Structure 1
Amino acid sequence: MSHRTRTPEQLVSAYVDVWNERAYQHIPEVVSESFVLYDPAVPEEGIAGPRGEAHGPDAVARFIRGVIAGFPDFHVRVLDTLARDDVVMYEAEVTMTHEGEFDGMSPTGRDARFRLMSTYLVGDDELEEHRVYFDRLDVFAQLGLTDGE
């Protein structure tokens, strides 16, 4: 029987650090082989899983690298966290500038700042699932990718 060396909150914090510090090498230390990221921003092409899903550590790494290529200053600031047993939830603020291509969208040079909610399921000392919820239309509007902007 395995035991945890890190709390669920520590695992989530380490995962956020992967994003903010571009510490891709730590992905296998934080997520399980069966990890699934559910995020509406995951593109259909080039990532294991259907649109909106990244399956496994390699797919997550590919997705994060793609986000950073499109938004080099991408940053997640966790505002509030709630943890209970094997579930961790947080509210965060994301800031980013669209300076590179992402999912076929040419860079707009515009900034976006938005709130999101995340839910994580935690297994034996690794994350099993991450679900992301945010207003995608608001982000597109801020980046000038809608008819109204």
Structure 2
Amino acid sequence: MAEATPRAEQLVREYVEIWNERAYSKIPDVVSESFVMSDPAAPEEGVPGPAREVHGPDGLEAFVRGVVDGFPDFRVTVGDLLSSDDLVMYEAEITMTHEGEFGGIPPTGRAVEVGEMSTFRVVDGKIQEHRAYFDQQEIYEQLGLTED
């Protein structure tokens, strides 16, 4: 049965809080055991799931911790949020400063600001799927990792 829209939206807001507040203890309450996140920045090693995917609550925690190690001030600011039954979508802005190693890239000290779109599927009261869409190349450019 489909989730009520307000509950699905609340779950997504709690999910964003996991990222912004480093609320790792909330992960099992928010995502399902079979959770899958598709994210272009997800590494091939160190996080459960293949490259560009994160699997399960443990995988999400490992990924968030890895991102925060590389970008201690990582923050998602949600703008527009739309929902229908078990589907939630938002447009957001990600801000972060590269102060630690991430993905084998030593810290650059540079700040990044990039737009993001995300879709979430809610099943049986928990987030089952998260798909993040952002321009990875734009992040590399802001970090000074590309040639002009």
Deviation of 1:145 after TM superposition, in Å, equals 1.2
Q: Residue 18 of structure 1 corresponds to which residue in structure 2?
A: 18
CA distance in 2, matches of 1:146, 1:18: 31
Work out the CA distance in 2 between the residues paired with 1:146 and 1:44: 22
Aligned-partner Cα distance in 1 for 2:137–2:50:
20
How many aligned residue pairs are there?
A: 146
Q: Which residue of 1 is the match for residue 60 of structure 2?
A: 60
Q: How does 1:72-91 map to 2 (within 5 A)?
A: 72-91=72-91
- Residues 62-109 of structure 1: CA distance to partner in whole angstroms, max 9, x if unpaired? 000000000000000000001001000000001000000001010000
- Superposed displacement of residue 30, structure 1: 0.2
Residue 127 of structure 1 aligns to a residue whose secondary structure is: strand
With structure 1 as the length reference, what TM-score do the two structures score? 0.95
* Amino-acid identity (%): 59
- The TM-score with structure 2 as length reference comes to 0.96
Q: Report the equivalent of 2:42.
A: 42
Find the aligned partners of 1:73 and 1:86 in 2 and give their Cα distance. 31
Distance 1:121 1:82 in 2: 12
In structure 2, the residue matched to 1:133 is: 133
Does residue 30 (structure 1) correspond to residue 21 (structure 2)? The answer is no
Residues 26-50 of structure 1 deviation map (CA, whole Å, 9 limit, x = unaligned): 1000000000000000001111111
SS at match of 2:108: coil
Alignment partners' CA distance in 2, 1:45 and 1:147? 27
Query: Within 2, Cα distance between the matches of 1:38 and 1:88?
Result: 15
The Cα of 1:58 is off from its aligned counterpart by 0.1
RMSD between aligned alpha carbons?
A: 1.3
User: How big is the shift at 1:124?
Assistant: 1.2
2:120 aligned partner: 120
Alignment gaps of 5+ in structure 1: none
What is the aligned partner in structure 2 of residue 105 from structure 1?
105
Where does the alignment leave 5 or more consecutive residues of structure 2 unmatched? Answer: none
Using the TM superposition, give the Cα deviation of residue 142 of structure 1 relative to its aligned residue in structure 2, in angstroms.
0.3
- Cα distance between partner residues in 2 of 1:146 and 1:22: 30
